Amino acid sequence: MKRNCVILLTLAGLTAGWWLPLGRTGRSAAHDPAAHLSPEQEEVRRATRKRELLQRLLDEDEWSRHARSNATSLAALLPLVQRDYPDDRDIDRIVGMDPLAAIDYFLGNPVADVQVGERIAEAWARKDPEKAIHHLSGKSGYRADDYLAVALTGAYPARPDLVGEVLRSKPRRWQERYLETLFSGSYSVRKPGAPPEIESDDPFADDGHWITRKSGEDLLHCLADDDLREQARKFWEDETPAAEPAEPDKNPLDLARYDPGDWEQRDDLFDALREKPEETVDAIVEQGGYHARKAAILHVMNDFAPDPESWPAALAELEGWMDRLGVIPDHPPSKFGTGQFLRGPEVAAWIDRQPLALRRAWARTFVQTWVISEPAAALDWASSLPEVAARDEAFHSGLIIWTHRDPPAAIAAVEALPPGELRESAISNAAATWATLDRAGTTAWLDSLPESSGKTRAIERMNPVGD
């Protein structure tokens, strides 16, 4: 938004400037070649200049390159690469500046682009395998595990021994989860005894002294058992598997009583819901167990209307499905996360009419989506929820996102909260979030607040014992 305002203001100023006589400032007409142009030539010159200026002003790549110049600090660069997907030069600059701080930023920012963080982790591991893997190995959580896995792939060509050491230290479940990440890739190396590579400007140049190796060829012994080793080898097979023979149609009544632990039955049930929705849902309503009814409502949620204009009617239809199946969905439709949220108040009013279990299940995810477009309204609704409807969890998840996007506005909203536990915990969470962006500003804000439990907790979180 700020950038758009700058563009509009700049264009407004330049519009007037385009129609002023050109080339008169700071020198006389006698020394100005433009002074001797005919009116037609002058018009062409003005049009050319206007076109060049517009191209420079409105070219997104030009703005991005300017914003990401070498003078840009890491703190300013990280939000930019989230907004505009970074190229390899951006990633290299970040790794060259402070990869540890960048990784911690992406780990601590709940709305950060996971893929950008993974690219930084992989590039860092290629450049400095030991530091990257040592740092990521000390982190916990799914996102940290994702970053570590891609860092292992980046470090593998240079330090397979280090990658193997980390892989052996991980439990079987972790190895299985990242098996494809670690074993499905390949990389190029120079042939033994090949002469040094000659640099070329041709990106497709190949001097014939390169060989391709599969990732993880010497890591199989680091896996927990033979089953995992066999799965890993399958990623190296080049043959396309033969098509499986078609199976006979499944009886919807059998599918309705499926075992949720059996993934094949789960796939069969979802196939039937896609291919024969009415017949399958009728069978589930008639004889299906709880897990089949949950699967059916999930299918309804996955087919939810993608157009926000249609959400009120789609929610009314969902209410009928909930009554018919006797279950409620665990989370809002995934389509709520696409596009601008145009119907926040109406959906909030619908949620308010639903059973407590749905309000509790939907509150946090709904607020996280709504806060992107209408943060004040989203947090106001969250604060009005009863505590048993996940009020605090919904409010704070929205507050963290708002603080990352617009710290001054979020801080003002925190200060406007009435006295109480919600306000104190909001001070702590807002401060901890803002500190990742502007520690000095956060400290100044806390210093301006009266003593309270929230302020004390915020200071403790910013200065943990042992740091």
List phi, psi (to 5°) of 452.
-160, 170
Q: What angle do CA 255, 257, 261 make, to 5 degrees?
A: 90
Sign of torsion over alpha carbons 18, 20, 21, 25: negative
pLDDT of amino acid 338: 55
pLDDT of amino acid 337: 60
Place of tokens 């540890």: 100
Q: Which residues contact 156 (CB under 8 A, 6 or more apart)?
A: 163, 182, 187, 215, 216, 219
The type of residue at 29 is A
Q: Which residues contact 258 (CB under 8 A, 6 or more apart)?
A: 265, 266, 268, 269, 291, 292, 295
Question: Model confidence at 421, in pLDDT bands (50, 70, 90)?
Answer: very high
Question: Model confidence at 403, in pLDDT bands (50, 70, 90)?
Answer: very high
Place of tokens 């509150």: 363
Nearest alpha carbon to residue 347 among 328, 324, 319, 322: 319
Q: Is the pLDDT of residue 261 over 50?
A: yes
At 215 the three-state DSSP class reads coil
Question: Model confidence at 423, in pLDDT bands (50, 70, 90)?
Answer: very high
Instruction: HSE, CB side, 13 Å, CA atoms: give it for residue 45.
Output: 15
| Torsion angle of the four alpha carbons 230, 236, 240, 242, in this order, in degrees rounded to the nearest 10 | -10
Could you give the angle at which helices 290-302 and 277-287 cross, rounded to 10 degrees? 150
pLDDT of amino acid 464: 76
pLDDT tens-digit map of 114-123: 888 899 999 9
Residue 51 tokens read as 């076109």
Lowest-confidence range among 34-43, 198-207, 382-391?
198-207
Nearest alpha carbon to residue 285 among 247, 252, 239: 252
Tell me how far apart the terminal alpha carbons of the chain are, to the nearest angstrom.
38
pLDDT tens-digit map of 72-86: 677 777 777 766 667
Q: Which helix (H) or strand (E) holds 283?
A: helix 277-287
At 307 the three-state DSSP class reads coil
Q: Is the pLDDT of residue 20 over 50?
A: no
The pTM (predicted TM-score) of the whole model is 0.46
pLDDT of amino acid 11: 45
Question: Model confidence at 211, in pLDDT bands (50, 70, 90)?
Answer: low
pLDDT of amino acid 85: 67
Bridge partners for 212 per DSSP: 188
Mean pLDDT of all residues in 224-240:
78
Beta 186-190 vs 210-214: how paired, if at all? antiparallel
pLDDT tens-digit map of 288-324: 788 888 888 888 887 787 777 787 888 888 888 888 8
Residue 353 tokens read as 């009419």
CA distance 408 to 434: 9
Between 277 and 251, name the one with better pLDDT. Answer: 277
Average pLDDT, the chain: 77
Q: Which residues contact 326 (CB under 8 A, 6 or more apart)?
A: 293
Q: What angle do CA 195, 201, 203 make, to 5 degrees?
A: 85
Lowest-confidence range among 8-22, 402-416, 418-432?
8-22
The type of residue at 260 is P
